[in-house]
């Protein structure tokens, strides 16, 4: 486990106070998911070996899908990958429009040194790698023709990396960005980087500098993604990992949008192997994968990624990786680790007041009345436990074992449905299969 900075520790607890999954440091309190994490590492190894692959994380509410997805991003960055973490939304991400998906993917592009909006940094690293290679080969970096040599090598590498299949506007934008940076026109280069990231708010004057028109469209976006992947690898990264979180949001969309979004996922799955070095990771609930409103309603996709289970045995290498619900022992292990990590002014008081006995009682209280389905309550439990950590740290007179009211947690509506074993049903009541169609 990597050593956490004080800033990362503070980020962990501030996120948990809000009921959110931290973006950093989650590896410090990951418990009981070694098998699933090993499978993600196997997928990363495939991508590092220039394979294109796709994985679907399957789990009910409270199973830790977002946690696992965040952990996958951090593990990928630690192994030398660039990453992007995208949350499906019916507000600013219409998944059936791949230009929307592309924009979000590139906007959220991150690396170990640049957590977000990293396309510009990746381009600089690529250009720096070319310059270092030329200098190592004997070129004089102070010579008048040095920039020209860098430009020619950049063009050659771009054509080789994309197999000559990148859109011409993509190539022209990259060339113009390099030329503008060499001239010191950083603002203009930044505008073109924004255009290349899918922004629709770049002025015509900036586009003219690269000889491009319009914006990146849905039908071209997959080809632009191929170009971004090529640049990521040329810059020295092992590949790219794209997480699409909360795919079950698609079930709440209108029928036509839902159908198109599912067809979009089918096209991504069909094309995944041709994106060498790219790992897609989708997270979704069993309802998303198993109901006729979701994947099960689209036979070509369902047949490819169908979930198989033999008794209690599940193969983690199949397309869907199952995340199992939390149990009391796992909640307890997480609480003990968080107690150890907590940045207290009085660590001894934290350990004595929030004893193992208190943690056991808190686990029992928060999970009471849930028919043994502990998996739906980790969010409530963690917020409650962090609140107790804060109270003990803030007030020397607070005695949690005596003063805490051990009452069950409240559930969200979707969690209540999960307890009752009732699937989410879209309002349109559509029960028919999803029509197969090309959406990009």
Residue closest to 350 by CA, chosen among 361, 330, 335: 335
**Are both 366 and 383 inside the same structural domain?**
yes
pLDDT greater than 60 at residue 371: no
**Are both 102 and 248 inside the same structural domain?**
yes
DSSP notation for 308-328: --BTTB--TTSSEEEPPPP-H
For residue 439, being part of any structural domain is answered with no
Instruction: Over range 261-290, report the average pLDDT.
Output: 95
Residues 197-226 pLDDT 10s: 999 899 999 999 999 989 999 889 989 999
Q: Rounded distance, CA 366 to CA 387, Å?
A: 13
Q: Phi then psi for 191, rounded to 5 degrees?
A: -65, -40
Given this model, what pLDDT does residue 163 score?
A: 73
186-213 exposure pattern, b = at least 16 Cβ within 10 A, e = fewer: eebbbbbbbbbbbeeebeeebbebbebe
Q: Rounded distance, CA 294 to CA 301, Å?
A: 10
**Are both 140 and 284 inside the same structural domain?**
no
- Pairing between β-strand 82-87 and β-strand 109-110 as defined by DSSP bridges: antiparallel
Q: Rounded distance, CA 261 to CA 435, Å?
A: 11
**Are both 132 and 94 inside the same structural domain?**
no
Tokens representing residue 115 in the block = 């957590």
DSSP H helices in 312-366 = 328-341, 347-353, 356-366
Which neighbouring-strand residues pair with 245? Answer: 87
Classified as helix, coil or strand, 1 is coil
Instruction: Specify the higher pLDDT residue, 61 or 406.
Output: 61
Poorest-confidence range of 7-21, 63-77, 321-335, 399-413? 399-413
For residue 68, being part of any structural domain is answered with yes
198: left (phi over 0), alpha (psi -120 to 50) or beta: left
DSSP notation for 96-133: T-HHHHHHHHHHTEE-SS--S--HHHHHHHHHHHHHHH
Domain residues for the domain of 353 are 328-419
Given this model, what pLDDT does residue 420 score?
A: 56
**Are both 100 and 247 inside the same structural domain?**
yes
Instruction: Over range 35-61, report the average pLDDT.
Output: 96
For residue 230, being part of any structural domain is answered with no
Please say which residue of 322, 356, 378 terminates a domain: 322
For residue 440, being part of any structural domain is answered with no
Instruction: Over range 29-35, report the average pLDDT.
Output: 92
Residues 141, 125, 186: CA angle, nearest 5 degrees: 80
Q: What is the mean pLDDT of the chain?
A: 89
Which residue in the block uniquely carries the two structure tokens 């040599």? 149
For residue 410, being part of any structural domain is answered with yes
**Are both 103 and 250 inside the same structural domain?**
yes
Chain-centroid distance of CA 47 in Å reads: 16
Given this model, what pLDDT does residue 157 score?
A: 82
**377 DSSP assignment:** -
Q: What is the percentage of the chain residues whose pLDDT exceeds 70?
A: 91
**Are both 103 and 124 inside the same structural domain?**
no
**Are both 292 and 378 inside the same structural domain?**
no
Given this model, what pLDDT does residue 412 score?
A: 61
**Are both 145 and 181 inside the same structural domain?**
yes
**168 DSSP assignment:** H
Q: What is the percentage of the chain residues whose pLDDT exceeds 90?
A: 64
For residue 196, being part of any structural domain is answered with yes
For residue 213, being part of any structural domain is answered with yes
Say how many domains are in the chain: 3
pLDDT greater than 60 at residue 372: no
For residue 57, being part of any structural domain is answered with yes
Tokens representing residue 211 in the block = 């000889």
CATH number at residue 287: 3.40.50.300
Sequence-distant (6+) residues with CB within 8 A of 155 are 171, 175
Confidence grade of residue 82 (pLDDT, cut at 50, 70, 90): very high
Confidence grade of residue 49 (pLDDT, cut at 50, 70, 90): very high
**Are both 107 and 194 inside the same structural domain?**
no
Residue 5's alpha-carbon distances to 11, 28, 70, 299, in angstroms, are 10, 11, 18, 47
Q: Rounded distance, CA 391 to CA 119, Å?
A: 42
**Are both 249 and 340 inside the same structural domain?**
no
Confidence grade of residue 1 (pLDDT, cut at 50, 70, 90): very low
Given this model, what pLDDT does residue 93 score?
A: 74
C-alpha count within 13 angstroms, C-beta hemisphere, residue 351:
6
Total residue count of the chain as it appears in this document: 440
Residues 316-350 pLDDT 10s: 999 999 998 888 889 999 999 999 999 998 999 99
**93 DSSP assignment:** B
Asked if 87 and 245 count as a contact pair (C-beta separation under 8 A), the reply is yes
**Are both 300 and 384 inside the same structural domain?**
no
């Amino acid at each position: 486990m990597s050593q956490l900075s004080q800033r990362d520790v503070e980020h962990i607890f501030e996120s948990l106070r809000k009921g959110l999954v931290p973006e950093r440091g989650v590896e410090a309190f990951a418990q009981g998911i070694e098998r699933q994490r090993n499978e993600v590492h196997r997928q990363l190894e495939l991508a590092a070996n220039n394979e294109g692959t796709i994985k679907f994380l399957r789990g009910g509410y409270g199973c830790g899908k977002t946690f696992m997805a965040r952990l996958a991003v951090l593990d990928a960055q630690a192994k030398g990958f660039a990453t992007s973490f995208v949350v499906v939304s019916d507000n600013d991400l219409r998944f059936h429009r791949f230009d929307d998906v592309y924009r979000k993917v590139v906007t959220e592009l991150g690396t170990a040194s640049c957590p977000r909006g990293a396309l510009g940094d990746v381009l600089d690293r690529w250009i720096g790698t070319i310059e270092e290679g030329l200098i190592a080969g004997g070129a004089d970096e102070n010579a008048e023709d040095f920039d020209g040599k860098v430009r020619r090598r950049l063009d050659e590498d771009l054509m080789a990396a994309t197999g000559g299949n990148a859109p011409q506007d993509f190539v022209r934008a990259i060339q113009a960005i390099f030329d503008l940076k060499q001239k010191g026109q950083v603002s203009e280069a930044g505008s073109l980087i924004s255009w290349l990231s899918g922004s629709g708010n770049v002025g015509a004057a900036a586009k003219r500098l690269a000889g491009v028109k319009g914006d990146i469209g849905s039908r071209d976006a997959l080809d632009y993604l191929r170009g971004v992947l090529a640049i990521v690898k040329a810059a020295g990264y092992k590949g790219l990992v794209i997480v699409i979180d909360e795919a079950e949001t698609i079930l709440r969309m209108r029928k036509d949008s839902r159908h198109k979004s599912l067809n979009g996922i089918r096209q991504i799955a069909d094309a995944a192997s041709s994106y060498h070095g790219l790992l897609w990771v989708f997270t979704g609930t069993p309802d998303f994968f198993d109901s006729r409103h979701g994947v099960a309603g689209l036979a070509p996709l369902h047949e490819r990624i169908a979930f198989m289970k033999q008794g209690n045995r599940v193969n983690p290498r199949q397309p869907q990786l199952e995340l199992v619900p939390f149990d009391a022992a796992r909640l307890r292990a997480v609480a003990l680790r968080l107690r150890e990590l907590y940045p207290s002014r009085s660590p001894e008081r934290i350990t004595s007041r929030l004893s193992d006995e208190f943690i056991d009682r808190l686990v029992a209280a928060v999970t009471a009345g849930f028919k043994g389905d502990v998996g739906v309550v980790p969010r409530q439990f963690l917020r409650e436990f962090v609140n107790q950590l804060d109270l003990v740290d803030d007030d020397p007179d607070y005695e949690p074992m005596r003063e805490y009211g051990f009452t069950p947690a409240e559930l969200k509506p979707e969690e209540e449905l999960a307890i009752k074993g009732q699937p989410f049903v879209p309002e349109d009541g559509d029960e028919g299969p999803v029509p197969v169609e090309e959406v990009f």
